[in-house]
Amino acid sequence: MVSTDADSAVSTTSAPEEPSGASSVEADQGPTFDSLGLSASVLEAVKALGYETPSAIQAATIPTLLRGRDVVGLAQTGTGKTAAFALPVLSNLDVYQNAPQALVLAPTRELALQVCEAFERYASNIDGVRILPVYGGQGYGPQLTALRRGVHVVVGTPGRIMDHLEKGTLDLSQLRFLVLDEADEMLNMGFAEDVETILAETPEDKQVALFSATMPAQIRRLSKKYLRDAEEISVKAKTQTNTNITQRYLMVSYPQKVDALTRILEVENFEGMIVFTRTKSETESLAEKLRARGFAATAINGDIAQAQREKTVNQLKDGSLDILVATDVAARGLDVERISHVVNYDLPTDVEAYVHRIGRTGRAGRTGDAISFVTPRERWLLRAIEKHTKAQPVQMQLPSVDEVNATRLSRFDDGITAALQEGEKIEFFRDVVRHYVEEHDVPEVDVAAALAAVLHGEEPLLLEPEPEKPAYDERRGRRDRDDRGERGSGERRESSRSRGNGQPLATYKIQVGKRHRVEPRQIVGAIANEGGLRRADFGNISIRNDFSLVELPADLAPETWKALESTRISGKLIELSEDSGGPVRRSGGRFDKSARYGKPDAGERPRKPRQKRKFD
């Protein structure tokens, strides 16, 4: 094993054998791309892109792959491993052979597209080279047309590659290079069987490069079985998280999260932002709430059509969209320069997921900010993150009403200043205002105030002062609150058919239930926001398989009924109707964490192996 210390620690061993001895040397000088042995056309493209010095993983991997040896690369995301395998593959391509010569497997569509784009940049000086992304969610037509015409490099997800193999539309008989990118993530997502099937369909004499952030037993077994005399190259960063990222956290209860996020968005100076939630349904719900508060936000998750996903990412890049609400899998592979902030709206239970999430900002030397919402029960997760990353996020305070109002007034001032710069347009309105003042004998400042009120609309410019906290209830031994929060088995607890203020309740039925992955907070949020209700207007909520029962005021106003006609939860119309089945009861049982925190979405995972395959 040889170990060098540059920006990262790099070690190389023959794999799968374990090293028997070790020696350590200091690198006297760093390598350059000219010294790695790349072809002239690839080297020219690299220099045109402005790359000067290879990263640690590139310097160690490229010469090894150019010598024709298999490689197991252990490196985190963001270390430059795409170029580590793309540059040697392109240096050895035969553009006169139309059958696929290189196959890159990636766990997600986003990563596949990112890798494909990188290949195209590095191949800009190679005449006639054709690179094809192959992933689910995209129509088969363009893929089949490209495959019939002939391609040199295929970059795809395992599921869609399997579909083409089964249909006989992808010929791997002349494959020379195979790359498994983010191999541990592919196996974690359930692609192990697909990956092995694909490997078995490829020629035995191919060259294989396997890249993974970790080396679990399953990866070790895979490398022993399918790689020949592989060299193991390990790159370990000195710190687990980018030092360019400022990490902060906010202690907050679950019901406070939306308001807390809203205040942070108003006070923080951000360009683009990704807000991470645990479940797909929460991405839609939160994005909807942010849009209702005037922010340019949208959701991205496993249910979004690929064309829409690509459109959304482009909107984030060009500035027409500021906030992306995403799940871990949906955001994998995103590299958008405008992302200045990452918010962990739901703290991930996997520490590695935290590292990947905040790595969406602060890339390529840029600075970034990561803010995590931590509920009282999640303190242990925060401690685990601190221990793993060897970094201590700084606790932040919720922006106060005064801070939010100061920011709003500052933006109001900035808007006036910007408008005053528009010469001809302002001159016209000066004449309009001057005429009004002369005709009605009103001070100009009053006219300006009236115009500002008209333009701003019904929503107040400033937040109201925060109300005093409820008095301590000695009988109950805690502060008296109307909002009890979500309860264990998907219901809200109430003791009778009326609220504490005597308001009679009735039972209503909505056409969303467990199979739509709804949670009590979504029901409360959607109905309260759309119907103009308060949380205090809700009684019990019972979530059944195909529908849910909700206790609401018995005398719902006609305008509330009309507003709720078009209300959707998880993308489905709720179809509110009265139910005659009697009061909603709790089903009892112990506290169910999944009702509060949500289980991983089955829709985010790849399908299980089956006889007849459909889309990826």
CA separation, residue 93 to residues 101, 131, 429 (Å): 7, 11, 65
Q: What is the mean pLDDT of residues 402-415?
A: 70
28-37, 396-405, 567-576: range with highest mean pLDDT: 567-576
For the chain, the average pLDDT equals 77
Per-residue burial over 173-205, b = 16 or more CB atoms within 10 Å of its CB, e = otherwise: eebbbbbbbbbbbbbbbbbbebbebbbebbeee
- Cis preceding-peptide flag for 16 (omega within 30 of 0): yes
User: What would the pLDDT profile of 504-513 be if each residue is shown by its tens digit?
Assistant: 888 999 999 8
pLDDT at 585: 54
| Of residues 477 and 254, more confidently modeled | 254
User: Residue 403's pLDDT is what?
Assistant: 75
Assign 446 a pLDDT band (cuts: 50, 70, 90). confident
**431 vs 436: CA distance, rounded Å:** 9
List of residues 6+ apart from 277 with CB closer than 8 A: 283, 286, 325, 326, 327, 345, 346
For β-strands 245-251 and 394-395, DSSP reports them as: parallel
Q: Is the pLDDT of residue 25 over 60?
A: no
* pLDDT computed for residue 135 by the predictor: 87
- pTM value? 0.47
- Which option is the CATH number for 485-597: 3.60.21.10, 3.30.70.330, 2.40.40.20, 3.90.45.10? 3.30.70.330
**375 and 363 Cβ atoms separated by less than 8 Å:** no
Cβ atoms of 360 and 354 closer than 8 Å:
no
Q: Which fold has domain 2-237?
A: Rossmann fold (3.40.50)
SS (H, E, C) 586-612: CCCCCCCHHHHHCCCCHHHCCCCCCCC
Count of beta carbons in the 10 Å neighbourhood of residue 541: 27
Summarised one tens digit per residue, pLDDT across range 156-211 is 999 899 999 999 999 999 999 999 998 888 887 788 888 999 998 999 999 999 99
For the cut 50, the answer to whether the pLDDT of residue 597 exceeds it is no
Least confident of 262-266, 356-360, 475-479, 569-573: 475-479
Helix residue spans in 176-216 (DSSP H)? 183-188, 192-200
Domain 245-398 has CATH 3.40.50.300: yes
Which positions ≥6 away from 459 have C-beta within 8 Å? none
Domain 2-237 shares a fold with domain 485-597: no
Domain map (residue ranges) of the chain? 2-237, 245-398, 402-456, 485-597
Instruction: Retrieve residue 423's tokens.
Output: 């010469």
